[in-house]
């Protein structure tokens, strides 16, 4: 980003356009220009929020046409197929939005890559340099926006791209101008765990047989993957308020086992096909996918099973006070 320039400003009356358009007859030579973000770097970091905006950059778009109510048409184009706005890296592309806003706190408008969006032009020629003055609060603004739905299948990493803004007078003209800016999108390593049920209660034991309680609707999201939409990995660690896998009623204890399974294992988790977890020890699992918010049961991709052995149940001291334990399931990044 260029800084430290000394600029001389020229006063131009009325609804004049930028210096490129000064002196041109708008009826015969429609003219428009845009400036202010050329060469700027828009850096966006995703850390798990739904949508993330870059820092805003100042821009200035002007036109000399139509006379008295000047408008300027702005189009955004990127380096993807058909001019798509994308940043590339880690074996794939992440789309992003380019949004434009009028001065003085106007609403943000998403620019299209296929058709121009019309804006009211600035009214002071001094805004060629996007300086703060007058009533336009430093000109228009540009920002980059990414959306979680577009990146939840992407590997963590750095993605780069460019985009171009082109300004045209409403009726078209040979004096359209354009500028380009760089985009860097950083996707931090992220994890999310949802839908673990809060209670694995088995009620009163009927004095015969083993007891099991299963949760088939757990959702784990991880972007620790090497390809877009490929298998991702995560660690599972389970601890309790008692320091081991035991239920307690007063001073009396009742041991239990915890098993975990992912969507790459059989869907009906059991002791025979699940992975027995060791207390406090991280175990690595893999998943084909996982929606960050897991809105439906179709998005679930993990299971947890709690098992009580009949011999342990028989050996436990009878009590009218339930045996209880509070377990904490922790998801962490796999090495």
- For the chain, the domains span 32-187, 191-332
Using CA atoms, how far residue 86 sits from 46, 141, 253, in Å, is: 15, 20, 58
- What pTM was estimated for this model as a whole? 0.82
Place of tokens 């845009």: 34
Residue 9 in this model has a pLDDT that exceeds 80: no
Here the tokens at position 275 are 């992975």
pLDDT class of 67 with cuts at 50, 70, 90? confident
The arithmetic mean of pLDDT across residues 197-212, rounded, is 92
Residues paired with 259 in a beta bridge: 276, 305
Pull the structure tokens for residue 58. Answer: 């100042």
Read off the pLDDT of residues 107-138 as tens digits, 9 standing for 90 and up. 899 999 999 999 988 765 444 455 443 444 56
pLDDT at 277: 98
Mean pLDDT of the chain: 85
Quick one: average pLDDT of 57-66? 84
CATH number of 191-332: 2.60.40
Task: Give the CA angle between residues 219, 196, 194 to the nearest 5°.
Answer: 45
**No. of H helices and E strands in the chain?**
2, 23
Domains 32-187 and 191-332 share a fold: yes
- Predicted confidence at residue 11, as pLDDT, reads 26
Per-residue confidence (pLDDT) for residue 137, from 0 to 100? 57
How high is the pLDDT of residue 70? 86
Instruction: Give the span between the Cα atoms of 167 and 119, in whole angstroms.
Output: 10
Q: What is the pLDDT of residue 6?
A: 26
Nearest partner of 189 among 161, 151, 163, judged by Cα = 151
With beta carbons less than 8 A apart as the criterion, state whether 196 and 303 touch.
no
pLDDT > 70: what percent of the chain? 87
How does pLDDT run across 234-280, given as a tens digit for each residue?
A: 999 999 999 999 999 999 999 999 999 998 776 789 999 999 999 99
The DSSP annotation for 90-156 comes to: TTEEEE-EEEEE-TTTPPEEEPPSSS-EEEEPPS-GGGGGT---TTTTTSEEEEEEEEHHHHTTSPS
User: To the nearest whole percent, how much of the chain has pLDDT over 90?
Assistant: 56
Retrieve residue 181's tokens.
């800016």
- For the cut 90, the answer to whether the pLDDT of residue 328 exceeds it is yes
pLDDT of residue 330: 97
Mean pLDDT of 223-242: 94
Is it true that domain 32-187 has CATH number 1.10.10.10? no
């Amino acid at each position: 980003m260029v800084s430290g320039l000394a600029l001389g400003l020229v006063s131009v009356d009325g609804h004049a356009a930028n210096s490129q358009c000064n002196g041109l007859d708008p009826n015969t030579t429609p003219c428009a220009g845009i400036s202010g973000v050329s060469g700027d770097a828009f850096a966006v970091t995703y850390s798990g929020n739904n949508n993330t905006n870059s820092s805003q950059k100042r821009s200035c778009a002007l036109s000399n046409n139509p006379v008295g109510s000047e408008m300027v048409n702005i189009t955004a184009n990127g380096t993807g197929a058909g001019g798509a706005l994308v940043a590339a890296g880690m074996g794939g592309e992440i789309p992003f939005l380019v949004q434009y806003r009028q001065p003085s706190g106007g609403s943000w408008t998403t620019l299209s890559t296929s058709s121009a969006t019309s804006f009211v032009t600035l009214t002071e020629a001094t805004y060629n340099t996007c300086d703060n003055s007058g009533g336009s609060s430093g000109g228009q603004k540009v920002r980059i926006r990414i959306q979680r739905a577009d990146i939840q299948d992407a590997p963590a990493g750095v993605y780069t791209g460019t985009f171009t803004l082109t300004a045209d007078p409403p009726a078209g003209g040979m004096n359209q101008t354009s500028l380009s800016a760089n985009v860097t999108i950083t996707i931090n390593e992220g994890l999310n765990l949802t839908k673990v049920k809060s209670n694995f209660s088995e009620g009163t034991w009927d004095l015969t047989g083993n007891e099991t309680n299963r949760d088939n609707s757990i959702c784990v999201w991880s972007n620790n993957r090497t390809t877009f939409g490929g298998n991702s990995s995560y660690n599972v660690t389970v601890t309790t308020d008692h320091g081991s896998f035991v239920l307690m009623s007063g001073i009396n204890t009742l041991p239990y086992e915890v098993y975990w399974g992912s969507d790459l294992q059989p869907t009906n988790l059991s002791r025979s096909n699940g992975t027995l977890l060791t207390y406090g020890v991280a175990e690595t699992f893999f998943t084909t996918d996982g929606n960050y918010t897991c809105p439906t049961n179709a998005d679930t991709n993990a299971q947890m099973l709690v098992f009580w052995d009949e011999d342990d149940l028989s050996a436990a001291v009878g009590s009218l006070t339930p045996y209880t334990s509070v377990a904490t399931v922790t998801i962490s990044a796999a090495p």
